[in-house]
Structure 1
């Protein structure tokens, strides 16, 4: 299985980069992982709704350039469906059984994803109704993908 993480912005903090590298290494025995970073837009303090829409549209165009026509796209969205770790594992396993060989997971920038990206997504996944820093979300997503593969392989993983 090929899994792409398409994420807006660069991860600046070393401790987050280290965690991303660690989970990427762990995942290498289960899937081919590719992390694609697209440039973020600077969001002014107290930006209007119109300015935020423009920013999301620009970031969305950059994201959509990396979306493959045959990929199954999962967008991380606060209004998406919440799953347990076992539920995500089952979803990934089901995709494999259906013959999906390329999953692309999309993490938006600090103000979220453009409507165009959400419309292209095959599935909207929410980790919580809370807001997380988009850089930290990469670590959380990678950990949950790793946990899903461990669950699907019947291997022990702490609960």
Structure 2
């Protein structure tokens, strides 16, 4: 199974880039991993929030394959423990999914059409984080889940 990490927005900022690259490299020891940064429309600043979300959703949905298992990060989603995330990843691998896509939406979140397509909606926290930090947290948590699945010492209980 491949793990794809998608984020709507700009390239990784320098202050998180090294961490994202490090955790992505570590995840590659368990699952092939790829990042895709989805650029918002060029006129994004001039668009109303709902129009921008709709525009982003069309791009996102066009990139998804029918068999992709989509995890949409959304503040209204289900919160998981690290062990719970590991279980979700294992379930997806057991279903023989070719690709598990973790999606971080744009500045205004994800359009309802993307949330309806999602196989799972996940909330990292009730707190709001900058998108750049969400990328780093996501990469670290996926790595942590991989170590939990492999009974390694990284995650202490």
TM (norm. structure 2) is: 0.92
The match for 2:107 is 110
- Runs of 4+ deviating beyond 6 Å: none
Q: Alpha carbon RMSD of aligned pairs, Å? A: 1.5
Equivalences for 1:136-147 in 2 at 5 Å? 136-147=133-144
Work out the CA distance in 2 between the residues paired with 1:65 and 1:37: 15
Q: Across the two proteins, how many residue pairs are aligned to each other?
A: 154
Work out the CA distance in 2 between the residues paired with 1:158 and 1:93: 16
Note the alpha carbon deviations across 1:58-114, whole angstroms, 9 max, x for none: 111121121111111100000000000001001111221222231011100111011
CA contact (8 A) 1:75 1:107 kept: yes
Does 2:35 match 1:31? no
CA contact (8 A) 1:3 1:104 kept: yes
Does 2:72 match 1:81? no
The DSSP-based 3-state class of the residue aligned with 1:65 is helix
Work out the CA distance in 1 between the residues paired with 2:87 and 2:12: 33
Work out the CA distance in 2 between the residues paired with 1:143 and 1:106: 15
Going from structure 1 to structure 2, the CA distance change for 1:10 and 1:96 (only over 3 Å counts) comes to same
The match for 1:119 is 116
The match for 1:22 is 22
The DSSP-based 3-state class of the residue aligned with 1:106 is strand
Mark the runs of 5 or more structure 1 residues left unpaired by the alignment: none
Query: Cα distance, 1:11 vs. partner?
Result: 3.0
Mark the runs of 5 or more structure 2 residues left unpaired by the alignment: none
Query: Cα distance, 1:158 vs. partner?
Result: 4.0
CA contact (8 A) 1:110 1:133 kept: no
